[in-house]
Structures are given as structure tokens and as C-alpha cells.
């Protein structure tokens, strides 16, 4: 019996699954460091299903994928797409960027795999945006095409940080002094959260004693640190402004989604924050943006789900 696999590859782990009727099943996780090559890791998975012959696969990976030679940014694996396809005896092998996978998951996520923040309603077949504060700031857009969906690539996380209020200006000045430039990623990421904390501490004449985003988030949510609370509140405001800009860029009436490993840890805090007010604060276009819904992705396997959606759309074997 033939089968298809998908892989979601990060610097630490590789997650693999089978694709059956467009759905993922048999999800397994392996440590990248346990295998000399990506082929070894994939074979560890496929050979555990001895009754199946894997004929197609799709790999989502956090690095550039436009050339045949793939070199991981945060791990020592590298491989040729054509050579890997031959080595694994596949009829089809697709290699896509991790944010393409995340974007492709959005149209197929269920209500149980996401949480809506604020108003608005999804309009079927309309453009979609996603951004994800994590190690960096990933950004993607989806647009409908005749055969399904097309992901629009770009480097939206590196656009200029656009201050809206006085505290934003405090953060902008801090970053501009430090880097001679203030990008959105230097605010909306793990290190960005720390830098917001440092900027507000300096402005208040306080010592910035914390250096880990998880510690800042924890102390904000527990209420034990007013500076951490102010940091997380401002982080949410800035996310709202940034998300609203993405909505305007491509008329994303299919929704704006938040991915990444940071925000799912404080969904209720986000819901109670000024995120949505800042999302809609677009002057004459307030009513326009207010109709666009915003969501936090809570499904941990959305990368694999999107990789499966991409493979299903592109491989008809």
C-alpha cells in the first residue's frame, strides 16, 4: 500500500506524519541531533510502517528553499532536494518554507484549533494574513487561486516598527539607539519582548533584571511585577497595530491569524488587552478593519497540517 509523509523541521526537532485523505495521522517527533542526516530521520519514521511504501513527501523547513541545496539555519543538516528524492525513492518530494506551511494550514483549521479575539467574521475565499512572534517574526499572506491557495512570500517581519503612542516612541528610540534602525521583529519576538521590557525599564529609571521572555511573561501574568505587566500590555497593543496593517495591505477579509510559540501562552490576557482596539484604530478605515476577524492558532501541529494541505494541493498521484 502506498503512503505519503509530511515533515516539519526545526533546529531541535523533526515532526513527521502520514497524510490520509488530506488529514495527518501517526504523528511522531524525533531529535535532529540523533540522526546524521535528514534522510536518516525520515527513514526512521517510514521504516516503522513496514507495510507501507512511501511515494510522496513534503518537508517544511525553517530556511530558504529556493535552490536545490538546502542548508538549515539553526542545525547542521544540509541536503540536495533532488538527491533526497532519489535516496528515498519518491515519485514526488516538495520542500517548502515553514511559514508557507503555517499559511497553508489556515483555511483548514477548525474552530477547536483557533481562538477568535474580538469581532469580525471570516468571508470565504478572501485573502488571509498570518504573523508569528517567536524566535523571529514570521509573516505570510494567502490568496485564493483556481486550484486552491497561493502563499505570497516576503520578509514582512523586517518592515519598520511604526510607533503609535508615547510608549511606542520610547521603545522606538531605545531600538534606534541600539541598532540605528527599529524593525517590527525587534519588538514582536522573544528578544523583542525583552527589549520592550528594557526600554520601559530605562524610561522609568528602573533596573531591567530579567533577560528571558518566559520570565517576563510569567511575572506579568502573575501580577507580581508591574513593569512586566506594562511590557506585556504594550506588546499586545503593538501586535494589534501590526496585525491591522497586514489586514489593510491585502484586504484580508479571510482573517488575520497569530502563530508562533509566544502568544498561545496568554490568550486570555490578549483577549482582555487593547490588542483589538489597536487593530481597529485605523482612522477613516476603522469600520473597514473592524469587519476583519483575528485569531490565535492554538493547534500545536498546524505546521504539519499546512504541509499536508500543500502536498494534497500539489501532488495528485
When computed from its CA atoms, the radius of gyration of the chain, rounded to whole angstroms, is 21
Nine-digit cell string for 300: 500545536
- CA atoms within 13 A of residue 94's CA, in its CB half-sphere: 24
* Cα distance between residue 200 and residue 205, in whole Å: 9
Does 7 carry a binding-site annotation? yes
193 close to 216: Cβ distance less than 8 angstroms: yes
Q: What is the pLDDT of residue 241?
A: 98
Q: What is the pLDDT of residue 62?
A: 83
Does 12 carry a binding-site annotation? yes
* Cα distance between residue 11 and residue 13, in whole Å: 6
131 close to 188: Cβ distance less than 8 angstroms: yes
Does 51 carry a binding-site annotation? no
Does 143 carry a binding-site annotation? no
Nine-digit cell string for 168: 511606542
Q: Mapping DSSP to helix (H, G, I), strand (E, B) and coil, where does residue 233 land? A: helix
CA dihedral sign of residues 274, 278, 284, 289: negative
Domains (range + CATH), the chain? 2-103+302-314 (3.30.420.40), 110-298 (3.40.367.20)
Strands of the chain, DSSP E: 2-9, 13-20, 23-31, 53-61, 69-71, 78-80, 92-97, 114-116, 128-133, 137-145, 148-152, 256-258, 294-297
pTM of the model: 0.90
Q: Mapping DSSP to helix (H, G, I), strand (E, B) and coil, where does residue 118 land? A: coil
Q: Mapping DSSP to helix (H, G, I), strand (E, B) and coil, where does residue 192 land? A: helix
Q: What is the pLDDT of residue 153?
A: 79
Does 11 carry a binding-site annotation? yes
85 close to 122: Cβ distance less than 8 angstroms: no
Instruction: Tell me the pLDDT of the chain (317 aa) as tens digits.
Output: 999 999 999 888 999 999 999 999 999 999 999 999 999 999 999 999 999 999 999 999 988 899 999 999 879 999 999 999 999 999 999 999 988 999 999 999 999 999 999 999 999 999 999 999 988 898 999 999 998 999 997 889 999 999 999 999 999 999 999 999 999 999 999 999 999 999 999 999 999 999 999 999 999 999 999 999 999 999 999 999 999 999 999 999 999 999 988 999 999 999 999 999 999 999 999 999 999 999 999 999 999 999 999 999 988 76
* Cα distance between residue 165 and residue 130, in whole Å: 24
Contacts with 110 (C-beta within 8 Å, 6 or more apart), sequence order: none
The backbone torsions φ and ψ at residue 249, rounded to the nearest 5 degrees and listed phi first, read -55, -40
Q: What is the pLDDT of residue 42?
A: 98
Contacts with 297 (C-beta within 8 Å, 6 or more apart), sequence order: 102, 105, 106, 109, 113, 114, 130, 257, 258, 259, 264
Q: What is the pLDDT of residue 317?
A: 66
90 close to 54: Cβ distance less than 8 angstroms: yes
* Cα distance between residue 103 and residue 310, in whole Å: 10
Please report where in the chains the cell 488571509 appears, as a residue.
128
Amino acid at each position: 500500500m502506498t503512503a505519503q509523509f509530511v515533515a516539519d523541521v526545526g533546529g531541535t526537532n523533526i515532526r513527521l506524519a502520514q497524510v490520509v485523505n488530506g488529514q495527518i495521522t501517526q504523528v511522531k517527533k524525533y531529535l535532529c541531533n540523533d540522526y546524521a542526516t535528514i534522510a536518516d530521520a525520515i527513514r526512521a519514521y517510514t521504516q516503522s510502517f513496514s507495510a507501507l511504501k512511501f511515494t510522496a513527501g513534503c518537508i517544511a523547513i525553517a530556511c530558504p528553499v529556493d535552490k536545490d541545496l538546502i542548508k538549515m539555519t539553526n542545525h547542521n543538516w544540509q541536503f540536495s532536494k533532488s538527491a533526497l528524492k532519489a535516496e528515498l525513492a519518491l515519485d514526488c518530494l516538495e520542500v517548502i518554507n515553514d511559514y508557507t506551511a503555517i499559511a497553508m494550514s489556515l483555511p483548514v483549521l477548525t474552530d477547536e484549533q483557533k481562538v477568535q479575539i474580538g469581532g469580525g467574521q471570516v468571508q470565504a475565499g478572501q485573502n488571509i494574513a498570518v504573523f508569528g512572534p517567536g524566535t523571529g517574526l514570521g509573516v505570510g499572506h494567502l490568496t485564493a487561486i483556481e486550484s486552491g491557495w497561493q502563499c505570497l512570500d516576503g520578509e514582512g517581519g523586517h518592515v519598520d516598527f511604526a510607533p503609535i503612542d508615547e510608549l511606542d516612541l520610547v521603545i522606538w528610540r531605545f531600538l534606534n539607539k541600539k541598532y540605528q534602525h527599529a524593525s517590527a521583529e525587534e519588538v514582536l519576538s522573544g528578544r523583542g519582548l525583552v527589549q520592550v521590557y528594557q526600554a520601559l525599564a530605562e524610561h522609568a529609571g528602573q533596573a531591567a533584571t530579567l533577560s528571558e521572555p518566559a520570565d517576563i511573561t510569567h511575572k506579568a501574568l502573575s501580577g507580581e511585577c508591574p513593569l512586566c505587566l506594562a511590557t506585556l500590555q504594550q506588546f499586545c497593543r503593538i501586535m494589534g497595530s501590526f496585525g491591522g496593517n497586514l489586514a489593510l495591505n491585502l484586504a484580508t477579509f479571510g482573517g488575520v491569524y497569530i502563530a508562533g510559540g509566544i502568544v498561545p501562552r496568554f490568550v486570555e490576557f490578549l483577549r482582555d488587552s487593547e490588542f483589538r482596539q489597536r487593530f481597529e484604530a485605523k482612522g477613516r478605515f476603522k469600520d473597514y478593519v473592524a469587519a476583519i476577524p483575528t485569531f490565535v492558532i492554538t493547534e500545536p501541529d498546524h505546521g504539519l497540517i499546512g504541509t499536508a494541505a500543500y502536498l494534497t494541493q500539489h501532488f495528485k498521484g
